[in-house]
Amino acid sequence: MTDDDQRTPDINLGDDLFFIPADDEHVRRERAKARELRQSQWWKNIRGRGRCHYCDEAVRPADLTMDHVVPIIRGGRTTKSNVVPCCATCNSNKQSLVPVEWQAYVARLRDESKRQS
């Protein structure tokens, strides 16, 4: 990703139709599950591939983070089908966006990049 891609998405979550507020207990429980899943052989194998799910860049496995596709704070769960390896840049940019919001953000960056070239 380029430096331009590192901007924070400016999506207003207050107006978001996809926002599902998660209570504190849900967040605490799912974060505990994430800590446990990070120790599993399954996660070590996924991370060992050394690729960010979002930008497909090669990344040292130790530098990949566990990202919840549907974020915990948005009601997501810690399951194998909802976590992916993610580079620090994409994780920082994605924040608490759900997939449709992330796709819109990436598409907007591409459009802006094309206009600038």
Residue 11 within a domain? no
Q: Structure pTM?
A: 0.77
Scored b (16 or more CB within 10 A) or e, 42-77 reads ebeebbeeebbbbeeeebeeeebbbbbbbbbbbbbb
- Separation CA 2–CA 35 (nearest Å): 30
pLDDT digits (tens, 9 = 90+) for 16-65: 555 667 889 999 999 999 999 999 999 999 999 999 999 999 999 999 99
CATH number, domain of 48, equals: 1.10.30.50
73 found inside a domain: yes
Q: Per the domain annotation, does 100 fall within a domain? A: yes
Q: Is residue 25 part of a domain?
A: yes
37: domain range? Answer: 19-116
| Domain contains 80 | yes
Q: Is residue 1 included in any domain, yes or no?
A: no
Share of the chain above pLDDT 70, in %: 83
- Report the number of distinct structural domains present in the chain: 1
